[in-house]
Chains A and B, each alone.
Chain A
Amino acid sequence: MKHAGPVTGSTAQNAVGEGRFTLARLAVATIATLMMLWPIAWMVSTSFKRPEAVFELPPRWIPEAPSLAGYEVALSAAVLRYFLNSVIVASATALLATGAGALCAYGLSRLRFRGNRAVMLALLGSLGLPIPLLMVTLYLLFFRVGILDSYLALILGHTVITLPVVVWLLKDFFDALPREFEEAAFIDGASPAQVIRLVILPLVRPGLAAAAIFVFVTSWNEFIFGMTFISSDTYRPIPAAMGLLFLNEFQYRWGDTMAVATVVTLPIMLLFVLFQRYFVSGITAGAVKG
């Protein structure tokens, strides 16, 4: 574009051509986006249909007589209990994994010692450990300790699968922060607790947010631990509950199923809208470095 002169014959003509290209690209991009998003639209559409309307052919994208019957089920006390369970587990996991991970990442970033890199690689490698193997052995461990069918079992399980990512994410973050402030604070006699609270925390907040969101979303999404560690409705998180409902009570109740599915997805979409940049930095952080 910047090359004026002999190369391009007529800039005006080029601009017209470019403009036409741009329109075509916008059209293709719109079609591609619709191709990606139609299942979500179909889910929302179905969630507003009356039970009979669900089976109508040809299917209607806009329900003729929209109904909230599905949402009455999705927001009934029984289903809300599963949501509450997921909120409790995901929040507690976000606190635990982000807290423990941040401390560890800070240590790894500030202390140079032999094996520092090996620890990081071991953490990365542990992400490849088969989750089904962990499922079996953690089940056994929790069974022996007597914490199966409790929030704690899920919180610990979800912490294990997210902690390594948190450490990687935040180590990058701490590495990018200048050390001089901390050193000066330490030399002036500040206690470690003061240094963390007054010097580090204010700077690292965006990183902590990205990590906590990643953990929350992973926990909210996790299915098989919720399926195996939990046996009672009292503690069952929403993904496992939804799988079971879908295969049992909800058979053929597509409107209800889609309403619950929509409500499961909503909190995550809301988080995304509020914290979009953290999401993207969360997913690219570990990978681009590799």
Chain B
Amino acid sequence: MNGVLTRHPLFVVALFAPAAILVGVLTFYPFINGVLLSFTNYSPLYKDTSFIGFDNYAYLLEDPAFWDVVKNTLIMIVSSVVIATVLGFALALLLDRIPVGRRTFRALIFQGWIVPWVTVAVLWGWIFNADYGIINWTLRNLGLIDGILGWTTDPVRAQIVIVSGFVWRIIPFMMVMALAGLQGVPDELLDSARVDGAGPLQRLRHIILPLCANVMLVAALLQAVRLFQEITLPWVVTQGGPINATTTLSLYTYKAAFQQWDFGLASTVGILWTIALVVIASVYLKFLLRRHD
């Protein structure tokens, strides 16, 4: 094939040019520019920009508020991904054992995955509404609370609102991935284990979980990376409050750029984030590959 195509050099150029230009101008160049910006105090509001070395980095790394944001982001994303992975896997195990209607259940549960984030956001605002929300009403009826529980006024409760939204939105993805993983578990293996007297829990622990672990770990990593990017839910539901409890790293960057108009600082957050991501992802993947051997 190489030979055939090299006779049409213009065609080869035409194949790669559009994507190369798009990625070059809209990803590569902005990234380099972001690195440069992080060493300046650039703001669209001021005419003068000066080079300030590592000042932005030093400022962030020494700012306890920034570390709070990092901590809260990690708490929310890790707990969301863990909960969704467990629940998604449990759902898949359940659906895998249903003789009829499996496709229907899967399609119904999958609906959560296609609901736009902004819909999840306003919907969560409504069901967690303090005065008229259905969650508070249900809790009151069950006798768990009296009166009104302010979900967005307390740091931990606000985080619960965000985490529950994240979990709800990504469970379907985890379930689909788990179903794909379960397809890879040979029936003969399960049958012979059953014949050898292995109970359902033993089969789960010693056969199903080890065989599905890699798919689920990759799916969890993908979702964690994606949730770091997610900004709609905290932006709309809690605006990052109370006192930064639900300010994710992405919301923090947004605020630095478009509320304080400090593009230098915002870029610095982005660069630190990229560095952390590369480190964490490579450690995680190395761990995955070692498991694989």
Contacting pair A111 B177 (CB below 8 A): no
Q: A129-B27, A129-B31, A238-B118 are in contact. List 10 more A-B contacts (CB 8 A).
A: A22-B99, A55-B131, A100-B22, A103-B18, A130-B250, A130-B273, A131-B229, A160-B23, A223-B118, A272-B110
Residue of A nearest to B103 (CB): A276
**A167 vs B15: C-alpha distance in the bound complex, in angstroms?**
12
Candidates B11, B141, B215, B257; contact of A192 at CB < 8 Å = B11
One digit per residue, 1 when the CB lies within 8 angstroms of any chain B CB and 0 when it does not, for chain A 1-39 equals 111000100000000000000100110110011001101
Contacting pair A103 B15 (CB below 8 A): yes
Candidates A112, A136, A160, A290; contact of B253 at CB < 8 Å = A136
Contacting pair B115 A40 (CB below 8 A): yes
Contacting pair A192 B8 (CB below 8 A): yes
**A186 vs B3: C-alpha distance in the bound complex, in angstroms?**
11
Choose, from B152-160, B168-176, B201-209, the stretch at the interface: B168-176
Residues of B within 8 A of A290 (CB): 218, 222
Candidates A138, A187, A265, A288; contact of B180 at CB < 8 Å = A288
A71 interface contact, C-beta 8 A? no
Residues of A within 8 A of B59 (CB): none
Which residues of chain A in 187-228 are interfacial with respect to chain B, using CB atoms and an 8 Å cutoff?
187, 192, 217, 220-221, 223-224, 227-228
Interface residues on A, range: 35 or more
B85 interface contact, C-beta 8 A? no
Residue of B nearest to A21 (CB): B97
**A254 vs B149: C-alpha distance in the bound complex, in angstroms?**
19
Residue of A nearest to B264 (CB): A136
**A113 vs B2: C-alpha distance in the bound complex, in angstroms?**
9
Residues of A within 8 A of B117 (CB): 221, 223, 239
With both chains docked as a complex, state the minimum distance between the C-beta of A235 and any C-beta of chain B, in angstroms.
Answer: 17
With both chains docked as a complex, state the minimum distance between the C-beta of A30 and any C-beta of chain B, in angstroms.
Answer: 8
Residues of A within 8 A of B98 (CB): 22, 25-26, 29
**A287 vs B223: C-alpha distance in the bound complex, in angstroms?**
10
Contacting pair B118 A183 (CB below 8 A): no
Contacting pair A101 B33 (CB below 8 A): no
Which residues of chain B in 1-40 are interfacial with respect to chain A, using CB atoms and an 8 Å cutoff?
1-2, 4-5, 7-8, 11-12, 14-16, 18-20, 22-23, 25-27, 29-31, 33-34, 37
Contacting pair B123 A43 (CB below 8 A): yes
B225 interface contact, C-beta 8 A? yes
Which residues of chain B in 173-230 are interfacial with respect to chain A, using CB atoms and an 8 Å cutoff?
173, 176-177, 180, 191, 195, 215, 218-219, 222, 225, 228-229
Name B residues whose Cβ lies closer than 8 Å to a Cβ of A.
1-2, 4-5, 7-8, 11-12, 14-16, 18-20, 22-23, 25-27, 29-31, 33-34, 37, 44, 91, 94-95, 97-101, 105, 107-119, 121-127, 129, 131-132, 134, 137, 141, 168, 171-173, 176-177, 180, 191, 195, 215, 218-219, 222, 225, 228-229, 231-232, 235-236, 249-250, 253-254, 257-258, 263, 266-267, 269-271, 273-274, 277-278, 281
Residues of B within 8 A of A261 (CB): 118-119, 122-123
Q: Is the interface of A mostly helix, strand, loop or mixed?
A: helix
With both chains docked as a complex, state the minimum distance between the C-beta of A181 and any C-beta of chain B, in angstroms.
Answer: 12
With both chains docked as a complex, state the minimum distance between the C-beta of B122 and any C-beta of chain A, in angstroms.
Answer: 5
A126 interface contact, C-beta 8 A? yes
**A264 vs B137: C-alpha distance in the bound complex, in angstroms?**
27
Residues of A within 8 A of B18 (CB): 99-100, 103-104
Residue of A nearest to B25 (CB): A141
A-B contact pairs, 17 of them (CB 8 A): A54-B132, A104-B16, A104-B20, A106-B15, A110-B5, A129-B274, A130-B229, A132-B250, A133-B271, A139-B257, A224-B231, A227-B235, A246-B121, A254-B132, A261-B122, A283-B113, A287-B219
Residues of A within 8 A of B250 (CB): 130-132, 224
**A43 vs B132: C-alpha distance in the bound complex, in angstroms?**
14
Contacting pair B22 A159 (CB below 8 A): yes
Residues of A within 8 A of B123 (CB): 39-40, 42-43, 258, 261
Candidates B37, B121, B191, B229; contact of A136 at CB < 8 Å = B37
**A220 vs B118: C-alpha distance in the bound complex, in angstroms?**
10
Candidates B14, B108, B126; contact of A46 at CB < 8 Å = B126
**A280 vs B178: C-alpha distance in the bound complex, in angstroms?**
13
A169 interface contact, C-beta 8 A? no
